A and B are shown apart, each in its own frame.
Chain A
Amino acid sequence: VSFVVGMAVFMFWFPGGYLPPFYNGIAGWSFNANERHYDTDKRFVPGLQIITEDGQRQWFSYGIISPINFVMRHHLAFKRKYPENIDDIYGFYFVAYCHNFDLLETGYYPNQRYLGRFSYPGHTPYINLEYQNFNPKNIASLELVTELRSVKTKIVEKRYVQYRYDVPDTLKNGSCGQNE
């Protein structure tokens, strides 16, 4: 008792208390709407995308790299810490995609490998995306983008590419990272 309660009290008194499995609780949230939130026509939609040799695009669902939950949080922190090695994280994304492709093309995410639709969902669940036409061998690049999209038609009106990673042939034709 004293250990568990003591840790809880310590976490309260210690700013930024964090010692798994103990931590000092969810931070306070705030949300103040601005005019962009009231726009009923358009949204700036951010995310990662995979692009084939012939220019087809698909969202790179965060479910592909589960158990990592906060993909962008991790991505941004990595960019801050290792700005010169940013390709390392994209290489990892691609290898994870390549490794899980057999499952993705059947319409399941890696977290559904064993339990299918009864699996524990992701913290920010992923919509079902079709990857049949996105064989890793045909993937030319991964991009971090923000798209200005129409709410009514989903049509992309503008695309802002923040980063482009060209997939090297050695990764495309390798064994998806296994035994490497």
Chain B
Amino acid sequence: MGLADKMNKKSWLLETANKGLSLLHDEKPIIYIFYARALLYSFFIWKLLSRDYRLFTFAPDNVLNIYSVDTFTAFQNYTFMGRGWLVDLVTFHWVHWILPFPNYQIMEIIYFSTILLCAVNVIIGRGKNNVFSIAAFCLLSYLWGFNWRTGADVDAVFIPLQAALVITLFKGADNPVWRKECFSLKPDREAGFLYSMMLIVFISYYQLSGFNKIIDVSLYEWFAYDLFTQMVDHKYYALAGWHIAINPLPLKIASYFPAWLIDFSVVLVYFSHLTTFMMYFNRHLIAKFMYFYWAFHFVSTGLGIWFSGLLVFWLIFLPVWRFFETIDVFYDPSIPGDKALASAIRSLDFLNKIVLQERSGGFFIRYGDGNQVFQKHIAICRIAWLLPSMWFFLPLLYLPLVARGLSKLFDLLTALFDKR
């Protein structure tokens, strides 16, 4: 490699590192801080109300002594770090080196206190010096400690738990839900930092899984995974009276496609794991990855595996502020298509978030700050955020192919009306 190549490589790396650092605090509206905490702790309330941790009080001590190092075989083992003493240290189970496990009544207090603390975090916020989020994190870690010592929990829960840790260490503004600052649309570096950190949590989860796909399985195995047969096999298990519920829908849909294509989707999943870091540098990819993983996790329900938490928790990236913004919509009344569109918007704008203005030169929208202007299907998508009757269709509008189709349709209609 010549000196020029080395210099170029070095400057590319520096440029990427600089971009990464500048994106870390890429501003987001303050409302995101409230949204992130509300979604996170609501998620835990939902999960805790669906998991009765009091059950562990019936278990003898040895039943609660099965750590990851005991559970996993050599191929996947956590020989060094899955050890009891280390897991106990980080889950506050070290208290049981001295104290006995809680009885039913004490566990009930711990269990409902955790739920209450999650509710406090949603409504009041992290509290002075993050006292509420610290307490919630400690209790969540403690409760999940029982999972780690009984054969481990679903790996997907690592994402919300890491997100809880991020919020616990977060130093940005925080307001109770009754303060209007909580819903402020003012761009904020700290809110942007929180958003970036949530991205890093997701990327760590998927990216590290991607690296494992290189370490654990050969390239041959990437292409040898017989997913379609596995789905059919699970269907037969269900028919034979298995006690695990298999969602029949993925196989029904898969049956319309050639089996090799279904098998090839595994390769795409492995590859996607390796490319998740791109979401950080190109935030437009977040929605695409989200749809991809929603599809992937939907397919896994056909194998009796439900990643319900991940399906929901991807919503942490929902640009919730768009529901609250106001926009100016400019349209040319001499163009019949624009006029019809403006008329439809006027009739659907129940929240009075849109100001319609006549202006020659085509259809576009402009945000209040005047800096952001959008045309074509992006304008339509942004308008849909402000029209309650369109909220149901919002996820569809952002589907990659739909967005492209809409763009083409918009071009076609514009050309058609221009000719007239």
Q: Which residues of A contact B (CB under 8 A)?
A: 1, 3-5, 8, 11-12, 14-33, 37-40, 42-43, 45, 47, 59, 61-62, 65-71, 73-75, 77-78, 80-82, 85, 88-89, 91-92, 95-96, 99, 110-115, 119-127, 129, 149-152, 154, 177-179
**Are B240's CB and A81's CB within 8 A?**
no
Which has the most chain A C-beta neighbours within 10 Å: B58, B62, B76, B306? B58
Name the prevailing secondary structure of the B interface residues: helix
Contact with A along B207-234 (1 / 0, CB 8 A): 1111111111100010011110110110
Which has the most chain B C-beta neighbours within 10 Å: A20, A45, A69? A20
- Given A92-B58, A125-B244, are A24 and B212 also a contact pair (CB < 8 Å)? yes
CB distance from B208 to the nearest CB of A (A): 3
Closest to A113 in B: B52
**Are A11's CB and B243's CB within 8 A?**
no
- Given A16-B78, A32-B224, A151-B240, are A73 and B151 also a contact pair (CB < 8 Å)? yes
Bound-complex Cα distance A88 to B104 (A): 18
Chain A CB within 8 A of B324 CB: no
Chain A CB within 8 A of B239 CB: yes
Question: Contacting B208 at CB < 8 Å: which of A12, A20, A126?
Answer: A12
**Are B49's CB and A33's CB within 8 A?**
no
Question: Contacting B63 at CB < 8 Å: which of A67, A89, A121?
Answer: A89
Interface size of B in residues (CB-CB distance below 8 Å):
98
Residues of chain B contacted by A111 (CB below 8 angstroms): 50-52
Residues of chain A contacted by B77 (CB below 8 angstroms): 16
Chain A CB within 8 A of B144 CB: yes
**Are B24's CB and A29's CB within 8 A?**
no
Chain A CB within 8 A of B110 CB: no
B161-169, B356-364, B390-398, B412-420 - interface stretch: B161-169
In the assembled complex, 9 residue pairs joining A and B whose CB atoms fall closer than 8 Å, in A order, are: A18-B68, A18-B78, A24-B208, A77-B71, A81-B66, A82-B62, A110-B52, A119-B46, A120-B50
**Are B243's CB and A62's CB within 8 A?**
yes
**Are A154's CB and B52's CB within 8 A?**
no
- Given A20-B144, A77-B151, A92-B63, are A99 and B58 also a contact pair (CB < 8 Å)? yes
Question: Contacting A21 at CB < 8 Å: which of B158, B211, B307?
Answer: B158
